[in-house]
Amino acid sequence: MSYRYEFGSGEEVFETVNPASPSEKVGRYGIMDTSGMGLAIEKANAAQAEWARVPGLERSQRLNAFIDAVEARADELAAAGTLEQGKLFRESKGETMKSCAEGRFSVGEAARMGATAIATGRANYSNQILRRPRGVIFCISPWNFPISTPMRKICPALAFGNAVVMKPSQFTPAASFLLAGISKEFFPENLIQIVMVPGRSASAAVAAGDIHGVSFTGSVPTGKLVYAAAAANLIPVQLELGGKNGAILNDTDDLEGAVSQILGAAFMTSGQRCTAISRVLVQKRLANETKEVLTSKASAMKIGPGMDETSDMGPICNLPHWKDVCSNTERAISEGAKPLTGGSAPNRPDDGYFYRPTILGDVSHSSVAGQEEIFGPVLSVIEYDTFDQAMVMLNGTEFGLTSALFSNRNDLIQRFLAESQNGMIHVNHGTVPDNNMPFGGIKNSGVGAYSVGPTAVNFYTSEHAAYVAW
């Protein structure tokens, strides 16, 4: 058996497969044991001490050169992402380029990092607020964005003088190893360590290892375990968790355009995005037309391999999650939701982990389709009479990641901005974030400083108040 990617060493191995054709083995990875994990953290600490002494301007120049090299190999990284994750190649390429654009913002932040003067309360004193690198950041990355999530953690961590120990998902590790390989030309040896370890080993490392921050992206249940492990050593955490994101469609001059934006936000990466819109809350007078347009567009989508340029949507990433999407959608239908299109898999999983683009009507706010993160190409339509009802339903879940409103009414827009209980709030467009804006959520969607943007410094550095008498 030949593999496209072979990394790591260990007695145990994990093989990755192509979700569009599960009989095709893609990668083979050695599983690191506990001693190997400890050694990786030790090496990272040594490298970080060296890296922290590099001036910020030089760090920014070297990080910029690294990002240039990543861009130059964008096709290779995108292919690795698609072959293991399943998403369309053009989505993987876009993911790579967006991650580089976000990284460029970190380059600028590294150049600006330093002392900030602040007024003093005493004569013959000067006051400063200093920022220092935290140290070694333990990063845990999910399988849905195998390129951008590692880059979103690596770039700001290195910009501010830290080292990274990265645990990629076992389903999509190739891109992380490729990124670490690219980095060797630009940074001290061992500054980025990739560790293929089981989740239990990662939790043990967080609880006992010599690390100084934990950045986790993934599900709420796993995030709570990471949070508890970090609390054992009072280690700062940055948790990016799930969502049950809603879009309110109240009034619009361009219904088809609004629906197209909602559909794109719902079905990109086959709905396997924490920021995917999974509920559209529709004013009743627009409900019938909205459902017609949604159904027409969704049913016309072609599902197929991510490397096929004619595909509109790729497969689900892995077999366990494919089973979850199937069972959760079946449960939603059993609770009364009506599949307007889709609602089932087109084939057996041996022929690919595909799932039809699904629009569910007659959805109750309190049902699984209205409350739980199905994390697949399943969009629930929930109707409302008044905007008060829409806001209650929008905020009426455990999550608070992102939301959208489509309306021409300024009073409703201002109310939405003031009352949407989400970390990211969009008006009259889908839920695509900018490269320089903070990314994160509230409630059960996130803990700690947001990633990306100017607030990332709050996680990747420690703050010190300095007083100098003269």
> Measured between alpha carbons, how far is 1 from 403 in angstroms, rounded to an integer?
46
Contact in structure between 305 and 312 (CB atoms under 8 Å): no
DSSP 8-state secondary structure symbol assigned to residue 129: E
DSSP string, 432-463: PPPTTS-B--SGGGEESSPBSSGGGHHHHEEE
Helix (H, G, I), strand (E, B) or coil at 403: strand
| End-to-end alpha carbon distance in the chain | 72
User: Look-up: residue for tokens 């001693």?
Assistant: 35
CA 456 to the chain's CA centroid: 15
> Measured between alpha carbons, how far is 373 from 355 in angstroms, rounded to an integer?
16
Of residues 310, 305, 377, 149, the one with CA closest to residue 241: 149
Burial of 149 (0-12, 13-18, 19+ CB in 10 A): buried
Burial of 72 (0-12, 13-18, 19+ CB in 10 A): exposed
> Measured between alpha carbons, how far is 292 from 361 in angstroms, rounded to an integer?
11
Q: Is 289 known to be catalytic? A: no
CA 348 to the chain's CA centroid: 29
Say which of 100, 139, 155, 274 is annotated catalytic.
Answer: 274
Burial 265-302 (b: 16+ CB within 10 A, else e): bbbbbbbbbbbbbbbbbbbeebbeebbebbbebbeebe
Q: Is 274 known to be catalytic? A: yes
Q: How many helices (H) and strands (E) does the chain have?
A: 15, 19
* Nearby residues of 120 by Cβ (< 8 Å), 6 or more positions away: 126, 127, 467
Say which of 240, 317, 326, 383 is annotated catalytic.
Answer: 240
Q: Write out the two tokens for 58.
A: 């030089």
Contact in structure between 43 and 22 (CB atoms under 8 Å): no
Contact in structure between 223 and 421 (CB atoms under 8 Å): no
Of residues 2, 17, 180, 157, the one with CA closest to residue 84: 17
Q: Which residues are catalytic?
A: 240, 274
